[in-house]
Every structure is written in C-alpha cells, then in structure tokens.
Structure 1
Amino acid sequence: MKVILLAAISADGKIAQSVDQNSTDWTSKEDIQFFVKKSKEIGALIMGKTTYGTIGKPLKDRVIYVLSLRPEEETPAEGVRYVGGELVDILAQVEADGFSSVLIAGGASVYSQFLSQGLVDEMFLTVEPYLFGKGIPLVGDMDVVKMMFVDAQQIGQETIVLHYRLK
C-alpha cells in the first residue's frame, strides 16, 4: 500500500486560517485541478472529520475514508466510509477494498499522525502565494521527519508543487 500525503499550503506553511476554512477558498484553480487529477488517479482518500466537513459531500469516482473516534455512530453515504482504530489497520482495510495507493488529504492532525508513525511514502505540497501569519500549520507537534526532494513543478502563474519521498 502506497501512502501519499497531499496538501495545499501557504508560503508560511499553513493549511488554513481557521478550522472552518475550505482550502478552495484560497487556493488556485491549478491546485484544485491537481487535487482532482491526483485523487482520481489514486481513487481512495483518507481524511479527518473536520476536513470532510469542509468538503461536505462525497467526491465523484473516489472513495473517502473519514477518520472517526466512533465510526459506528456516523451516517455513511455513497462513496464515504467512516473508519476508526489504528492507522495501519485502516490502511489494511483500504487495501482489502482493492486500492493499491491512498491519498492522505488532511487535516493537520491526520497529517501528523501518519507522518509520526512513518506511514507516508510520498508527499506533494502545493505552495500558494499567501502568508497567513496565524492559522493551522501543516503538522502539529511531532518528531523531525527527513524527506528526500524529488522535484518541483510550477502549475500556473503562482503555484508550485513540491514532491518529496519519505521512505
């Protein structure tokens, strides 16, 4: 199972100014296109409940695994599965559902958990030309994670995608 983390960040490393801000409120159309393309290629996404709440609906041609402390109490929808427990067990479930890769799509707590447990193989960071100052950082408190630079790609006038390998 290949685990790929994908995040849009401001130039100062924030994923949002507040918990209720949707990244599409401030990211470029090229970032949105990159997300759609990458997520459709992979087919499966894992995200937290707060991130799913900002999207608010299933995504066509993709399955979203929403992390929840009480998945049995959630109301499932077509293309949305609520899951809980150990991350390695959730990855095994995604693989058992027929996916060879999964996209980790936020938020900061989810990113931190996957990174701190050494579960991320690759990372794509879309850097947008904003400085938020205050806001939600890409990751919370965690140990240092060493990454290997793969490449950088400009997608549009002002947006850059940084690609890293972690394992």
Structure 2
Amino acid sequence: MRIVLVMAQTLDGRIARGPDDPVDWTEAADKAHFSALTRRLGLVFMGSSTFDAMGGPLPFRKNVVFTRFPERRPPSSEDLLFTSETVETVLERFAEAGYKEAALIGGGRLNGAFARAGRIDAVFVTLSPLFFGEGPTLFPEDIAMDLKLVDVSPLGENSLVLHYRVA
C-alpha cells in the first residue's frame, strides 16, 4: 500500500503550537489542497491528538485513528475506526480490503512510527509563513529519509507545497 504523508508546517518546522492546537492556522488554499488530496486517496491514518484537534472524522473518507486506548473513544463506525494495532497490521488489513493508497496526516508520533517501519512513499508538505517558536514537529525524533523533489507549487498567497518521493 502506498502511503502519502500530508502535513502543513511553519517555517520553523512546527506542525502545531501545542498538543491541543486547533488545525486552523493554514491558508484556505491549503485546506482545499488537503481536502482534495485526502478525498482522492480515500483512506486517512491519524493519531488520537490529531483526531481530537480536528474535532471529528473527515467526511467522505475512511478515518483510522491510532490510539493506545481505543476503548476510551466513541464506538467505531463504517467510516471511523479506532485501533491500537501496529502500523503493519493495519496496513495489511486495509490492503487485503482493496485499498491501494492512504494519507498519513499526523501527528508526529504516528508519522515517526510509519517512518521507522519504512512505510512512507511520498510527502506533501505545505510551508506556511509562520513561526511558532515551539510545538510538535513532523517527527518526534531523528528520522532519516532520503527524498527526491517531485514538485514545488505556490499555494494561496503566501504558502508553498513541496512534493517529494521517498527514495
């Protein structure tokens, strides 16, 4: 299964101001880009803090929330699944169900788990013209990945989307 990391970050490398930061600091064009890309992919993987920051599942997509405590979450439904299974187990399950690709939308701990498993194939990062000074980053620890630039596109008035392929 092809995994596409889709994130926005500030120029100082932050993906949020803090763990409870709402996901409202990017331009409208980034929100439209994120929506179109994740809808096209159809399946999204996220951590529980990302799910909480979004305030609920993304409509018109299958949402899979990785959490250490799935029993503390609302009941899973057809388009929302809470799981404490490993990355490999979840990927195997959805590959068997016919999914060919999925979006990984954070947060940093989950991004790190996918990266350590060698399961990120492409990266779309929106660079937003902000500095937060502190907050979580794309990965919580040093992650080594060799990337090849595919495209750089202006987005909105002040942002850029960087598209990389993982070598």
Aligning the two structures, in what range does the TM-score lie when normalised by the shorter sequence?
over 0.9
Question: Where does 1:145-160 land on structure 2 (aligned, <5 Å)?
Answer: 145-160=145-160
Of 69-78 and 144-153, more deviation after overlay is shown by 69-78
2:90 match: secondary structure: helix
Cα distance in 1 for partners of 2:72, 2:32 equals: 33
CA 42–73 in structure 1, closer or farther in 2 if over 3 Å, else same: same
Question: Aligned Cα RMSD in Å?
Answer: 1.4
- Residue 36 (structure 1) aligns with: 35
Question: Where does 1:116-131 land on structure 2 (aligned, <5 Å)?
Answer: 116-131=116-131
Of 132-141 and 35-44, more deviation after overlay is shown by 132-141
CA offsets 1:94-146 (integer angstroms, 9 cap, x no match): 22333210100110111111112211000000000001111111111134221
TM-score by length of 1: 0.93
- Paired-residue identity, %: 28
CA offsets 1:35-60 (integer angstroms, 9 cap, x no match): 10001100000000110011122222
CA offsets 1:51-76 (integer angstroms, 9 cap, x no match): 00111222221010000224355322
CA contact (8 A) 2:23 2:54 kept: no
Structure 2: which amino acid aligns with 1:30?
A: A
- Residue 89 (structure 1) aligns with: 89
CA contact (8 A) 2:65 2:83 kept: yes
Question: Where does 1:1-167 land on structure 2 (aligned, <5 Å)?
Answer: 1-24=1-24, 26-72=25-71, 74=73, 75-167=75-167
Cα distance in 2 for partners of 1:144, 1:59 equals: 30
1:60 match: secondary structure: coil
Q: How many equivalent residue pairs? A: 166
Gaps of 5+ in 2: none
Structure 2: which amino acid aligns with 1:41?
A: R
Structure 2: which amino acid aligns with 1:10?
A: T
